[in-house]
Amino acid sequence: MTSGRAETYPLRRREVVARLVADRGELLVVGGLGAPSWDLTAAGDHPLTFPLWGAMGGAAMIGLGLALARPTRRVLVVTGDGEMLMGLGALATIAVQAPANLAVVVLDNERYGETGMQATHTAGPTNLGAVAAGAGFPVVGDIFDQAQLEAALPRIRAEPGPVFFNIKVRAEDLPLVLPPKDGVHLKDRFRAALLGPAAIE
């Protein structure tokens, strides 16, 4: 494992994600490939969470398509730094579309977690919040501690966006808590919960 500052970050990803989806109400959630989807599952598997087992670089764009289709529902994308780095162009595409109901949150542990905790660019000079701001996101923030997280939670859930928060979380290996793996099932349960049973007939 790469050693570095991320091993000492105070925020723990499982606790952060549990707070992000607590009392989720009508929230629609997309989980990026890898640990963010396992974190969401640890917080409670839910039909209106779409956890990705692949499609690396696509989480934010899935959130955009969903947010445009359902403009009255809040959409939250929870992904990782490696996944976000693979699709940075999506930040510009989202900023141009400017969906007020979309929030993208990156759990930034500065590591590729699924492949052995190798350093990502955010372990070096790359700042994803600055990238999002440069792409044109109107609401951007960096979170390093619990107080900042608590202040950001209502903004993530309700502030007109698109909203982007980069949350520095501790680099740590955690037990896998896996969602269902069958993509058709994940899609159908989401559509049935959101659109009604006729959507999957």
Q: How far is the CB of 64 from another protein (least distance, A)?
A: 6
Residue 78 corresponds to which amino acid?
V
Token pair of 168, please?
A: 């520095």
The piece of 47-55, 104-112, 140-148, 155-163 that touches another protein (CB under 8 A) is: 47-55
Give SS3 for 119: strand
Q: Among residues 5, 97, 151, 178, which is the contact residue for another protein, using CB under 8 A? A: 97
Q: How far is the CB of 127 from another protein (least distance, A)?
A: 19
The CB density around residue 38, as the number of other CB atoms within 10 Å, is 22
Check if the beta carbon of residue 55 is closer than 8 Å to that of residue 37: no
Beta carbon nearer to another protein, 55 or 153: 55
Q: How far is the CB of 112 from another protein (least distance, A)?
A: 16
Q: Among residues 36, 63, 113, 161, which is the contact residue for another protein, using CB under 8 A? A: 63
- DSSP sequence for 96-120: HH--TTEEEEEEE-SEEGGGT-EE-
The interface with another protein within residues 113-172 (CB under 8 A) comprises none
- The answer to the question of residue 180 lying near another protein (CB under 8 A) is no
- The answer to the question of residue 64 lying near another protein (CB under 8 A) is yes
CA distance 131 to 172: 25
Check if the beta carbon of residue 80 is closer than 8 Å to that of residue 68: no
Q: How far is the CB of 178 from another protein (least distance, A)?
A: 16
In terms of DSSP H, where are the helices of the chain?
Answer: 13-20, 35-42, 59-69, 81-85, 89-97, 128-135, 146-158, 183-195
Binding site for another protein (CB under 8 A): 28, 30, 50, 52-70, 87, 89-90, 92-93, 96-97, 183-184, 186-187, 190-191, 194-195, 199
